[in-house]
Amino acid sequence: MSGADQYRALIEAYALGSLDPEERAEVAAHLETGCDECNEALAESRWLVSQLAYLAPESEPSDMLRGRLMQTVRAEANAAKAQASPASSRATSAIPLWMWGAVAAALLFAFYNAYEARSLQKTIHGLQDSLTAQVRSQQETAQQLALTRREALILTDPASVKIAMPAGRKDLPVLQATWHQELGIIVSGQKLPVPPGNRTLQLWLIPKAAGAKPMPSLTLRPDADGKFDLLVATPPDSQSGTKALAITEEPDGGSPQPTTAAIWVGAVAGQ
Ligand SMILES: [Zn+2]
In angstroms, the CA 72 to CA 105 distance is 9
Domains of the chain: 8-124 (no CATH), 161-267 (2.60.40)
Distance 166 CA to ligand 1 centre (A): 89
Q: What is the DSSP string of 214-252?
A: PEEEEEE---TT--EEEEESS-SS-STTEEEEEEEEEST
Q: How confident is the model at residue 79 (pLDDT cuts 50, 70, 90)?
A: low
CB 99 within 8 A of CB 8: no
How are the residues of the chain apportioned to helix, strand and coil, as percentages rounded to the nearest 5? 45, 20, 35
Which of 12-26, 74-88, 112-126, 150-164 is predicted least confidently?
74-88
Q: Please compute the mean of the pLDDT values over residues 234-257 and round it to a whole number.
A: 94
Distance 50 CA to ligand 1 centre (A): 22
Q: With 50 as the cut, is the pLDDT of residue 91 above it?
A: no
Distance 84 CA to ligand 1 centre (A): 13
**pLDDT at site 1:** 44
Distance 39 CA to ligand 1 centre (A): 7
Q: How confident is the model at residue 124 (pLDDT cuts 50, 70, 90)?
A: confident
Residue 165: phi and psi, rounded to 5, are -120, 85
Distance 176 CA to ligand 1 centre (A): 83
Q: Please compute the mean of the pLDDT values over residues 115-131 and round it to a whole number.
A: 76
Q: Render pLDDT for 12-39 as a digit per residue (tens, 0 to 9).
A: 888 877 788 899 999 999 999 999 999 9
Q: Classify burial at 38, counting beta carbons within 10 Å of its beta carbon; exposed 0-12, middle 13-18, buried 19 or more.
A: buried
